[in-house]
Amino acid sequence: MIKAKKYLGQHFLADKNIAGKIADSLINENALPVLEIGPGTGVLTEKLICKNFNLSLIEIDIESVEYLRKNYDNKFRLIHADFLKTDISKILENEFCVVGNLPYNISSQIFFKILEEKHRIPEVVCMIQKEVAERMASSHGNKTYGILSVIIQLFYKIEYLFTVNENVFIPPPKVKSGVIRLTRYRDHIEGINEKQLLKVVKTAFNQRRKTIRNSLKSILPEKFDFNNHYLSLRPEQLSPEDFVKLTELIYK
Ligand code: SAH
């Protein structure tokens, strides 16, 4: 077995039933190719193979890559690379689903990257830190509602499926884990420039205790209607669709 490397967020799943449950959670109704991020030593991979998916794996750790090559030859395409730095269109040209027990230290960055490719990713099933999963699924009005909740929920339905305890990993992480499923319901928003939308959301949440009037001061145009009711609210009071409307008002 491989000794886990902390800096790569390696916590290998040791419970095959849970691996099976994660694999079963991927519906993949159109039998699309599946990309697993961070297969490690292949506990989840093995279950994905059983489902006969057209499977590609992307793994940063050479030791895991060599282990996978040795133990499961030819059952998948294996790419030794950093998911965050890889042009995924070079691996998969068309639509695909994403699955993985993600490295928790970079899970937010992974989701931002998934969002960049969302026109090709209709479904994602993954395990992440429980708090992060809850934050993503959180609705407006909650303390945990933030940038990722807004942006993900604008494109994906998000379901919190189940919680996984620390003791089923080697080594055990310090936190509990949660498995979520994202199902895309649209891949763009009519008339919206996503860079502008992201700028509005990020700028608002960067100072989450301030009102929109104060946090967005630098990007509100002169002609903006300063009586607009959004201005007196804090960012967590705006629904994802409110952020879309606010972006329209600012950049129209
Ligand atoms: N899926 C395995 C391993 C999960 S641990 C299991 O459930 O047992 C997270 C895995 O992601 C590790 O194998 C780690 O090497 C890999 N990883 C970390 N950063 C990565 C990156 N940037 N790109 C691809 N894989 C990465």
Task: Locate the domains of the chain by residue range.
Answer: 6-184, 194-251
Does ligand 1 have an atom closer than 6 angstroms to the CB of 43?
yes
pLDDT grade for 74, boundaries at 50, 70 and 90: confident
CATH of 194-251, one of 1.10.8.100, 3.40.228.10, 3.40.50.1970, 1.10.10.10: 1.10.8.100
Query: What's the CA-to-centroid distance between 36 and ligand 1, angstroms?
Result: 9
**pLDDT tens figures, 168-204:** 999 999 999 999 999 999 999 999 999 999 999 999 9
- What average pLDDT does the segment 106-115 reach? 97
**pLDDT score of 161:** 97
CA of 39 to the centre of ligand 1 (A): 6
- C-alpha dist (Å) from residue 175 to 37, 91, 126, 132: 20, 32, 16, 11
Q: Which atom of ligand 1 is nearest to the CA of 10?
A: 5
Instruction: Quote the CA–CA distance of 47 and 52 in Å, as a whole number.
Output: 9
pLDDT exceeds 80 at position 6: yes
Residue 249 CA, ligand 1 centroid: distance in Å: 41
Alpha carbon of 108 to ligand 1 centroid (Å): 14
Give the pLDDT confidence score for residue 1 in this predicted structure.
Answer: 76
The pLDDT-based confidence of 252 (bands split at 50, 70, 90) is confident
Whole-Å CA distances, 92 to 81, 125, 144, 224: 14, 18, 34, 43
Q: Atom 13, ligand 1: which residue's CA is nearest?
A: 40
Nearest CA to ligand 1 atom 11: 38
Best residue among 8, 17, 67, 91 to mutate for probing ligand 1's pocket (most ligand atoms within 8 Å of CB) is 8
Structure tokens at 92: 């998969």
Residue 36 beta carbon below 6 angstroms from any ligand 1 atom: no
pTM over 0.85: yes
Answer yes or no: is the C-beta of 103 below 6 A from any ligand 1 atom. yes
pLDDT reported for residue 113: 97
Q: Tens of pLDDT along 214-224?
A: 999 999 999 99
CATH class of 6-184: alpha beta
**Which residues lie below 8 Å from residue 141, measured CB to CB, with a gap of 6+?**
236, 237
Q: What is the pLDDT of residue 85?
A: 98
CA distance 216 to 204: 6
Task: Give Cα separations from 102 to 13, 140, 161 (angstroms).
Answer: 11, 26, 16
Provide the pLDDT confidence category of residue 210 given band limits of 50, 70 and 90.
Answer: very high
The Cα–Cα gap between 209 and 152 comes to: 22
**What contacts 24+ positions apart, CB below 8 Å, involve 218-226?**
219/250, 220/250, 221/250, 224/249, 224/250, 225/249
Substitution site in 41, 44, 60, 110 for ligand 1 pocket (most atoms within 8 Å of beta carbon): 60
pLDDT at residue 158 above 90? yes
Atom of ligand 1 lying closest to residue 45 CA: 1
What is the overall mean pLDDT for the chain? 96
Q: What is the pLDDT of residues 35-63, one digit of tens each?
A: 999 999 999 999 999 999 999 999 999 99
Q: Which atom of ligand 1 is nearest to the CA of 39?
A: 1
